[in-house]
Amino acid sequence: MLLTVVDYGVGNLRSIAKSIEKANFDNNLNYLVKVSSDVNDVKKSDKIVLPGQGSFKACKKGIDNIKGLQQELNESIIVKKKPIYGICAGMQLFATTGHEEEKTKGLNWIPGEVIKLDVTSSKLKIPHMGWNELKVENNSKVFEDGMNNNHAYFIHSYEFIPENKKAISITTNYGKDVIAAVSLGNIFGSQFHPEKSQSTGLKILTNFLKI
Amino acid sequence: MLKNRIIPCLDVKNGRVVKGINFVDLKDAGDPVEQASIYDKGGADEICFLDITASNENRNTIIDVVNKTAEKCFVPLTVGGGIRTIENIRDLLLAGADKVSINTAAVKDINFIKEAAQKFGTQCMVVAVDAKKVSDGKWEIFTHGGREKTGIDAVEFSKKAEAYGAGEILLTSIDKDGTKTGYDLELLNIITNSISVPVIASGGAGNLEHLYDAIKTGGASAVLAASIFHYGEFTIKETKEYLKSKNVPVRL
């Protein structure tokens, strides 16, 4: 089985690959984890992980810079229904539109908007950075009820708001309920970093591998 | 609720820990990877390496350390010390660091932060502010381990660092560093009230009450400490249990 971590020039790919390899090894699964920017690897993959760091606009530009990548992602995810996991800005890219820096079109797999985290009503710091508790709203194959009150590592200033509230798997409290994870069919993603969230993160990655 | 973070910091020189952990179960007290791994398992919220390697030839050793740490630790890793170029940052992030802490290069030219933040995102840019009290209510930035005066006001510099793309400020009081008499709460307070990005308190931790004060009185989002953890005076777990008993939100 092949899992490709898509290298489109952003993100700490080594940490992500290493954490997936650990989940794979600890559970006696047989994935080959490949970090690659080659569209053919995406095509051959059984599962895909889409990392993301920096602004929505910069991430989308990174995808656009690789010829044929967006088409292959659409083919893999929408037509072939391969499971995908988006991390941080990688998850935000699932949206219809991003509003960071300037209005930018996303992949539109989970209709919705990515907007600035609005906590102006309180004295909270932006970015929302550090460990926060998870509240499971709708469980899915990856995000399960047992993760209630577990901690995960967040670092973000923007939030993905999906139109379909059933797509919201997990929220976390930061002045208000902030969307922490989404699931829609074969599409999964989290605002927090599973690769930096110790046992909770490894459990999430294990669940994703086991789908 | 967002938790306050406890960050143990390891000083690394030529790939070896200088102030080592004094734990009995350590195979190699000088191995930063092994020590980081112990902190990871012990519940540290992040781990920080400060590379104090003197020569440029040995710069690659820290890359190797980060590389190996990324295989074992699944909490955020910050690396600071001697970072001068975009290439230095790229190398560390590719090796598995999550954040880099920039000091002298930011003081010399704040545009470096802007350039780096645009390339790698503000989330990985920590600006290290080393401040020393020069008169009542006034702190100045010092570089080169507190030896060189810059004449730059610490509060103004912190505001500027935020505006140029710092995602976080690592604030060290040069007066307090190594004294074990507590963080400079007055300095912490003035900085945390002047900027909106998180501030990590550093320099002066001698007991658990000091950590509590930095968070409660100083307004720090995170506390960084070295010796109180290294010499086994307190474990991360004891630290967090203490803070929790005083109603500080921590991840346990």
Q: What is the pLDDT of residues B49-71, one digit of tens each?
A: 999 876 666 778 899 999 999 98
Round to whole Å and give the CA distance between B142 and B130. 6
Round to whole Å and give the CA distance between A145 and B169. 36
Residue B25: active-site member: no
CB A81 within 8 A of CB A186: yes
Q: What tens digit of pLDDT does each residue of A47-61 get? A: 999 998 888 998 999
Q: Which residue of B has its CA nearest to A154?
A: B2
Long-range contacts of A24-30 (CB under 8 A, 24+ apart): A24/A209, A26/A202, A26/A206, A27/A206, A27/A209, A27/A210, A29/A1, A29/A209, A29/A210, A30/A1
Of A14, A19, A58, which has the smallest distance from its Cβ to B94's Cβ?
Answer: A14
Q: What is the structure's pLDDT at A207?
A: 98
Task: Determine the average pLDDT of the residues in B18-32.
Answer: 67
Q: What tens digit of pLDDT does each residue of B147-181 get? A: 889 999 999 999 999 999 999 999 999 999 988 99
Reported as a pLDDT band with limits 50, 70 and 90, residue A150 is very high
Task: Determine the average pLDDT of the residues in A108-126.
Answer: 88
Helices (H) and strands (E) in chain B — how many of each?
10, 11
User: Which CATH number characterizes residue A42's domain?
Assistant: 3.40.50.880
Beta bridge partners of A179: A171
Higher-pLDDT residue of A121, A15 = A15
Round to whole Å and give the CA distance between A139 and B44. 29
Q: Which residues of A touch B4 (CB under 8 A)?
A: 130
Q: Which residue of A has its CA nearest to B45?
A: A131
Reported as a pLDDT band with limits 50, 70 and 90, residue B145 is confident
Round to whole Å and give the CA distance between A211 and A185. 11
Least confident of A142-146, B69-73, B138-142: B69-73
Alpha-helical (H) ranges within A50-94 are: 56-64, 69-74, 89-92
Q: What are phi and psi of A197, to 5 degrees?
A: -115, 30
Q: What is the structure's pLDDT at B55?
A: 67
Q: How many domains does chain A have?
A: 1
Whether the pLDDT of residue B20 is over 70: the answer is no
Domain range for A136 is 2-210
Reported as a pLDDT band with limits 50, 70 and 90, residue A110 is very high
Q: What tens digit of pLDDT does each residue of B83-104 get? A: 999 999 989 988 999 999 999 9
Q: Which residues of B touch A197 (CB under 8 A)?
A: 74
Q: What is the structure's pLDDT at A11?
A: 67
Whether the pLDDT of residue A159 is over 90: the answer is yes
Calculate ∠ Cα A211-A88-A64, nearest 5°.
95
Reported as a pLDDT band with limits 50, 70 and 90, residue B23 is low
Whether the pLDDT of residue B108 is over 60: the answer is yes
Whether the pLDDT of residue A129 is over 60: the answer is yes
Whether the pLDDT of residue A10 is over 80: the answer is no
Q: What is the structure's pLDDT at A192?
A: 98
Q: Which residues of A touch B222 (CB under 8 A)?
A: 130
Task: Determine the average pLDDT of the residues in B191-220.
Answer: 96
Task: Determine the average pLDDT of the residues in A10-33.
Answer: 92
Q: What is the structure's pLDDT at B26?
A: 58
Predicted model pTM = 0.92
Kindly list the residues of chain B whose beta carbon comes within 8 Å of any beta carbon in chain A: 1-5, 40, 45, 67, 70-71, 74-76, 93-98, 120-124, 167-168, 196-198, 221-222, 251
Instruction: Return the axis-axis angle of helices B208-216 and B185-192, rounded to nearest 10°.
Output: 30
Task: Determine the average pLDDT of the residues in A106-131.
Answer: 90
Q: Which residues of A touch B2 (CB under 8 A)?
A: 124, 128, 130-132, 154, 174
CA distance A123 to chain B (A): 9
Task: Determine the average pLDDT of the residues in A26-33.
Answer: 97
Whether the pLDDT of residue A120 is over 60: the answer is yes
Of B5, B40, B124, which has the smallest distance from its Cβ to A130's Cβ?
Answer: B5
Q: Do A12 and B98 touch (CB under 8 A)?
A: yes
CA distance B221 to chain A (A): 9
Average pLDDT, chain B: 91
